[in-house]
A and B are shown apart, each in its own frame.
Chain A
């Protein structure tokens, strides 16, 4: 049913709802500041990749993932006062299937590392890792512990390291902002080569190195290397 353009008794035409809402000078509505900025055409030309990177960086879903002391500071970063949500990276997701950033907040020990690997594997691509605190960089104060993994990079690749024991919430906010910047610039997670592996892989080109490392992974039976006398 349409009441558009139905002549009334006095012969004038009624307006459609749309016309009535637009009012006089309908064009003004589209004359936004954006249009002013981009000139006469309301289109932005960009590469799709670039657009996607911008989107990814601006709306990040963090995984709700607490390990140790740093997770307390991470909670403070999410909550009042520091409020990570201001940076478009706010509400933690409880399921790895919904998340694209994992903050690793704490010491990783031999029993937990396979589990963390599993959670990381469950996240959809593209995914990013922020390692929080000294423990995820080198083992931190527990480096000499018989059970402690010397850094998150023994298990999963890391994009941003935030040092500190624990880092202040401001430091984590800075780390996340840096990650957003990298994502927006299209820099993806690097393939990390441990210093003690340089001898083995040092002469390979970057592409070959990625292939070589990928071949080494048996997806059915992920074995975590944990050999602390060899570790840096």
Chain B
């Protein structure tokens, strides 16, 4: 890897609290937290400090300010037989392998816990989701209400006493218009209320944004999500590790990012059950995942053109044309155009299609043509004055805000945050290959577009190297799967949180095993869920069309936001 890490030297010289020789020193962290720690737990990925529910903020402030854990990756809530529990999964943007969990148990009869929102802004939505699905109440949270389910919903579906038998009635009357009837402020006629979505072409799916306008400018907005909450976590909790979960990740981020998502589950489950993956399978995984990334970015770029100047005729069609090429390759490999279901725990489903030469030639043709096609995109988009006027310096997301909201992926890298799990927390075959992490310092819509276009180039580089490797791979060493038992039963009470770099950013999975062949808790950390939270910051004071541009540059996919 030719990846220089400019800050690593500085880090090495002045070591942070709780770090010794590049590893997290949990004893030192425990000393830092002092009396707030009442117990310690050991998860597969990191150690967890058990904290009293009224001292959450003290512990998190100490870990953030003094130990440098600036990335609240995920908040998991779950119910045990005797308690509720919230887990804050903390990481560092500089080195995501340094992790720590803060575990907050609360009692069954009064599940109230202190909110982490003042420490990490991203906890806002995560805690609302925990309240909505599990039923933990967070004290001091600025806006404690349901986030995914309708306001009229009865009960908390992932809690133990929820009964799916009771009918839930959703009336149109209660959901007719969530804003004021005449869409105007009471005394101030400059104040207007506007619903955008949930059925609107520019919202990239079923997102509803409640907007407050001051004249033409956005004064405030509140993304209202949950229109595609199709119980992905429940589905995974009902499935067995070995085979029944794998089809679902394809449907989280459904913009052809299937294999990237499958890898998130595969990585977490393989680490949980201690399964090795053969090297050959890792190369195949890396190659197919990067093909998915190209397909996903192509759609992001082409729909962004659609959002900016309604270009349905040229750029959108170019994007779809290139996606068709990728999908053809992936169809040859997996047999499916969109929902691949190709990875298996311990490897991949089957070997490359025969004749292999033809398959490799197809990939090479695609990769060889790609620079020419990207030049086309650059001619028509990035060097287009209209697009530049619309996107440069609009939707500005400063790096500190991005970190506080837990933004990852192209959104973070467009704000100059050098964070890519493929390099920083290596998995698969990425650390053996020669490629670069793309960052842009613009922090605006244009920078995020540039990051995506340049990432396509990097993905093509990775694919080329993988094809080279696969071509020369000795025929008798093509091991596609390791030996995995038919039924997996990880040891009871093992917990893991693992993430991979999905198309939109850090896609993490939390799993807790209870000794059966199904996970007791399956929590998905979706990158879009965190990225979407930055929308109010990006669009305050902007015009509506610039807000739409920001939304397009975030590249959210609602299947992943709502899960």
Interface residues, chain A, CB within 8 Å of chain B? 64-69, 71-73, 75-76, 79-81, 94, 106-107, 109-119, 135, 141-142, 144-148, 165-166, 168, 220-230
3 closest A-B pairs by CB: A145-B231, A69-B254, A227-B167
Contacts of A113 on B, CB cut-off 8 Å? 170
* Separation of A189 and B176 alpha carbons in the complex (Å): 26
Closest to B225 in A: A111
Contacts of B175 on A, CB cut-off 8 Å? 111, 114-115
Is B198's beta carbon under 8 Å from chain A? yes
B201 interface neighbour in A64, A67, A112, Cβ under 8 Å: A64
Q: How many residues of B contact A (CB 8 A)?
A: 52
**B176 → chain A, closest Cβ, in Å?**
8
B169 interface neighbour in A141, A168, A226, Cβ under 8 Å: A226
Whether A222 pairs with B171 at a CB distance below 8 angstroms is: yes
Query: B300-340: which have CB < 8 Å to A?
Result: 316-317, 320-321, 323-324, 337-339
Closest to B247 in A: A141
Q: A79-B317, A106-B228, A111-B227 are in contact. Are A166 and B339 (CB under 8 A)?
A: yes
* Separation of A68 and B232 alpha carbons in the complex (Å): 13
Contacts of A76 on B, CB cut-off 8 Å? 320, 323-324
Is B165's beta carbon under 8 Å from chain A? yes
A221 interface neighbour in B172, B229, B247, B299, Cβ under 8 Å: B172
Whether A146 pairs with B337 at a CB distance below 8 angstroms is: no
Q: A68-B205, A80-B317, A81-B321 are in contact. Are A107 and B230 (CB under 8 A)?
A: yes
Contacts of B157 on A, CB cut-off 8 Å? 146-147
Q: A64-B201, A115-B227 are in contact. Are A142 and B235 (CB under 8 A)?
A: yes
Whether A224 pairs with B169 at a CB distance below 8 angstroms is: yes
B228 interface neighbour in A73, A109, A225, Cβ under 8 Å: A109
**B19 → chain A, closest Cβ, in Å?**
42
Whether B168 pairs with A110 at a CB distance below 8 angstroms is: yes
* Separation of A76 and B324 alpha carbons in the complex (Å): 8
Whether B234 pairs with A112 at a CB distance below 8 angstroms is: no
Closest to A64 in B: B201
Whether A73 pairs with B337 at a CB distance below 8 angstroms is: yes
Whether A117 pairs with B172 at a CB distance below 8 angstroms is: yes
Closest to B254 in A: A69
B142-160 contact mask (Cβ, 8 Å, vs A): 1 or 0: 0000001110010001000
Is B473's beta carbon under 8 Å from chain A? no
Whether A109 pairs with B238 at a CB distance below 8 angstroms is: no
Contacts of B232 on A, CB cut-off 8 Å? 142
* Separation of A228 and B231 alpha carbons in the complex (Å): 14
Is B428's beta carbon under 8 Å from chain A? no
Residue of A71, A112, A113, A135 contacting most chain B CB atoms (<10 Å): A112
Whether B171 pairs with A114 at a CB distance below 8 angstroms is: yes
Residue of A115, A148, A220 contacting most chain B CB atoms (<10 Å): A115
Residue of A113, A142, A147, A168 contacting most chain B CB atoms (<10 Å): A147
* Separation of A223 and B168 alpha carbons in the complex (Å): 11
Contacts of B231 on A, CB cut-off 8 Å? 142, 144-148
Whether B324 pairs with A81 at a CB distance below 8 angstroms is: yes
